[in-house]
Structure 1
Amino acid sequence: MRREDAMTDGDISASGAGVRAGKRLLLVHAHPDDETITTGGTIARYLAEGAEVTVVTCTLGEQGEVIGDEWAQLVAEAADQLGGYRIMELSAALAALGGPGHRFLGGAGRWRDSGMAGTPAADHPRAFVRGDGAEATEQLAAVVAGLRPHVVITYGPDGGYGHPDHIRAHTVTMAAVERARARWDTPKVYWTVAEDEAIAAGLADLGPVPGAWAIPDAGELPAVPASTVTAEVDISAHLDAKRAALAAHATQVRVAEGGRAYALSNGIAQPVVAREFFVLARGGAGPTVPGGRETDLLAGVRAE
């Protein structure tokens, strides 16, 4: 293994940008804002280190609930213009993270936000969960074969918190990686997760939050046991970028003063933590730290 393939976090911070030249990550997310909430720091970090990063978004997020009054009439039940507005928010968020490549699965508007399970939105003819899974898989397989990523990131089988579009994104991504194997055999696939211990620690140190926000107990937020996490990425140097990207999704997210917490339209405070967590779903783990976790998703893969 070459030194580049076994770099530690210390090596990377000392080396600066460019050490990841020729290495590629592809992240598949369901809606605008998901890329920032779950993997924004990872995107910013690997871009800063010189890797090629591409985000695929599966829908426009048309069924999102809008925070505040200014854009309230854009929602699906009124003007139904929220999806187009969220393209602008997504563009601003990606720019704040360092400007990864981006595309919508099948082109902007091909698949529609399905809404939560059991809602009428799931019956829309373009709803992501109702659409042709084989078509979506082939669309994403073509992206995988064309970009030739060393690492693909998406959600686990439960979608992180059960949203039907997140679950469909998982299913389509895993199928697309297999579908593309004859043209490009992706070395590693990760599922993005929240770790219960990090959530608990973050909630204990939220800092000031608006009085209207609710402070949850640690077990109320979706998270997996720390024992199931196989990789963590230190994003402490990129928290400002992640906070700026969160703020760019202004119809969906509010960031508290001080930047240690954010909330969605439900007004439930969530911590902004200095690590992002993953489970290795496919491929071999690179070097690990004591305790058995990888700290570098690209460790063990070779640039071409």
Structure 2
Amino acid sequence: MSELPDRRLLLVHAHPDDETINNGVTMARYVAEGAGVTLITCTLGEEGEVLVPELSHLASSETDQLGEHRIGELAAAMAELGVTDHRFLGAAGKYRDTGMIYNDEGNADVPPETRKDSFWQADLLAAADDLIPIIRELRPHVLVTYDQYGNYGHPDHIQAHRVATYAAALAGIPSYREDLGEAWDIPKIYWNAMVESRWREGLRKLRESGDTTTFEGMDPEGPLGPFVTPDRFIDCVIEGAQYIDQKMNALKAHATQITLDGPFFALSNNLGNEVWASEAYRLVKGTAAPGPDGLEHDLFAGL
């Protein structure tokens, strides 16, 4: 077995681009510091909307080649962040992007019909068994994934949460599937979080600038729904201003999904890039080791 880095971070995400939006600065920071950073992506994002007109033929409703194209986008984004170990769960394309609809409440939800090969329909134990050997091989100190709502309700995010949670539990049991490697109990597990106060501040500034269409229908003073996390639940905030250019370039690499005039960059135009330079987390397993401000600023704090 090759020598493992002293600090090891594993991230489990649903589609290409989720990792950069949620954790781009975090990943770039730990790569720069010499930690081991591994990304697992569960689907190819085949059902994504194609925002580049000349590539619209790739859509699932046409040639259905978007997933293949997004493998290249992900590789380009990871090159920007310096992440050399990025893998697909099971194999590239084993689990199909489920797609999503918006329900009557305006939240993401499961489409009325899903394909047999969709990630949503995957057997939970079988999918966990695809992740367990990676956990046991890499022996990560920290796992990052979504909360039980998948942050905003997308079925693949919810399933990624379930698979990561189940695999992490089973990977630590010595008598479970010895053929998948030696047991490893991950010391710290975090969920990605959108900080409520920051969202409200960002929306406020957008509305003050006269922008009423970005994140339409969201009132900075009203209820924001389950995708934001109350500030009191935030345990760790990674501030990475020095890595923001890498994150923005990685976002641009996901060109079919993220446009420079879309909501991500609209926020940047009004708030500056600092809105994307700060990435927040909830600690759900392990012991918090907060600093003087009551927060951790290192996912490996206390280990």
TM-score class normalised by the smaller sequence: 0.7 to 0.9
- Gap change, CA 1:212 and 1:285, over 3 Å in 2: closer
Q: Matches of 1:141 and 1:133 in 2, distance apart?
A: 12
| Correspondence 1:9-20 to 2 at 5 A | none
SS in 1 for 2:120: coil
- Gap change, CA 1:274 and 1:78, over 3 Å in 2: same
* Superposition deviation, residue 209 in structure 1: 11
For 2:75, the aligned partner's letter is S
- Gap change, CA 1:212 and 1:90, over 3 Å in 2: same
* Superposition deviation, residue 22 in structure 1: 1.3
- Gap change, CA 1:184 and 1:248, over 3 Å in 2: same
2:4 corresponds to 1:36: no
Q: Matches of 1:233 and 1:271 in 2, distance apart?
A: 12
CA contact (8 A) 1:115 1:121 kept: no
Q: Matches of 2:210 and 2:43 in 1, distance apart?
A: 31
The aligned counterpart of 1:226 is 231
User: 2:140 pairs with 133, 146, 149, which one?
Assistant: 149
Q: Matches of 2:45 and 2:160 in 1, distance apart?
A: 13
* Identical positions, percent: 44
The aligned counterpart of 1:13 is none
* Greater CA drift, 75-84 or 200-209: 200-209
The aligned counterpart of 2:185 is 185
For 1:300, the aligned partner's letter is G
- Gap change, CA 1:86 and 1:157, over 3 Å in 2: same
Segments of 5+ residues of structure 2 without an aligned counterpart are 101-108, 175-182
- Gap change, CA 1:205 and 1:45, over 3 Å in 2: farther
Deviation by residue 1:86-138 (Cα, 9 ceiling, x = unmatched) = 0010011111111241100001011000111342662x121001011111001
User: 2:73 pairs with 89, 104, 108, which one?
Assistant: 89
CA contact (8 A) 1:58 1:111 kept: yes
Deviation by residue 1:253-300 (Cα, 9 ceiling, x = unmatched) = 01349x85369xxxxxx984321010001111123332x221110112
User: 2:297 pairs with 295, 298, 301, which one?
Assistant: 295
Deviation by residue 1:113-167 (Cα, 9 ceiling, x = unmatched) = 0111342662x12100101111100111111011100000000010000011101
Segments of 5+ residues of structure 1 without an aligned counterpart are 1-19, 264-269
* Greater CA drift, 278-287 or 166-175: 278-287
The aligned counterpart of 2:179 is none
- Gap change, CA 1:240 and 1:173, over 3 Å in 2: same
* Superposition deviation, residue 184 in structure 1: 0.6
* Greater CA drift, 65-74 or 86-95: 65-74
CA contact (8 A) 1:152 1:186 kept: yes
CA contact (8 A) 1:289 1:295 kept: no
Q: Matches of 1:214 and 1:191 in 2, distance apart?
A: 23
Q: Matches of 1:209 and 1:48 in 2, distance apart?
A: 39
The aligned counterpart of 1:285 is 288
Q: Matches of 2:267 and 2:65 in 1, distance apart?
A: 25
* Superposition deviation, residue 236 in structure 1: 1.3
Question: Cα RMSD (Å) of the superposition?
Answer: 2.6
User: What TM-score results when the alignment is normalised by the length of structure 1?
Assistant: 0.82
CA contact (8 A) 1:209 1:261 kept: no
For 1:298, the aligned partner's letter is F
- Gap change, CA 1:74 and 1:254, over 3 Å in 2: same
User: What TM-score results when the alignment is normalised by the length of structure 2?
Assistant: 0.83
Q: Matches of 1:121 and 1:38 in 2, distance apart?
A: 28
User: 2:278 pairs with 275, 278, 284, which one?
Assistant: 275
SS in 1 for 2:96: coil
SS in 1 for 2:189: strand
CA contact (8 A) 1:65 1:75 kept: yes
Q: Matches of 1:136 and 1:168 in 2, distance apart?
A: 10
User: 2:259 pairs with 254, 260, 263, which one?
Assistant: 254
2:103 corresponds to 1:119: no
Q: Matches of 2:54 and 2:61 in 1, distance apart?
A: 16
The aligned counterpart of 2:249 is 244
* Superposition deviation, residue 214 in structure 1: 5.8
CA contact (8 A) 1:189 1:280 kept: yes
For 1:152, the aligned partner's letter is L
2:143 corresponds to 1:140: no
CA contact (8 A) 1:255 1:262 kept: no
Deviation by residue 1:149-198 (Cα, 9 ceiling, x = unmatched) = 00000000100000111011101101101111031111100000111111
